[in-house]
Amino acid sequence: MKCDISIVNRLKRSQGQMNGVLKLIENEATCEEIVMQLKAIRSSVDRIIGLITTSNLVQKIELENQVDLKGIDEALNLLIKSI
């Protein structure tokens, strides 16, 4: 699958957030601070999943000269599973 550069950038930001959580743990931050950051990461990853599955659906529609209902159905099922 071809991914847009914005998706790669979002993944890199999430990776940075994970590194930040490790530093919080090393610095003995409070449980509340760690959980708050982990929830932010989860939200970020959920957004990335939505963007990837949506992009997949769009690519399936754009790249097919004819309507491939099976491919579109698979993309929609993936999108639904990501919610």
Task: List the chain domain ranges.
Answer: 5-82
- Looking at the predicted structure, is the pLDDT value of residue 70 above 90? no
**Predicted model pTM:** 0.72
Q: How far apart are CA 42 and CA 67, in angstroms?
A: 34
Fold classification of 5-82 (topology level): Methane Monooxygenase Hydroxylase; Chain G, domain 1 (1.20.58)
Q: Could you report the per-residue pLDDT of 13-36, keeping only the tens digit for each?
A: 999 999 999 999 999 999 999 999
Residue of 57, 75, 52 whose CA lies nearest to 3: 52
Cα–Cα distances (Å) from 74 to 14, 57, 79, 82, in that order, read: 27, 9, 9, 12
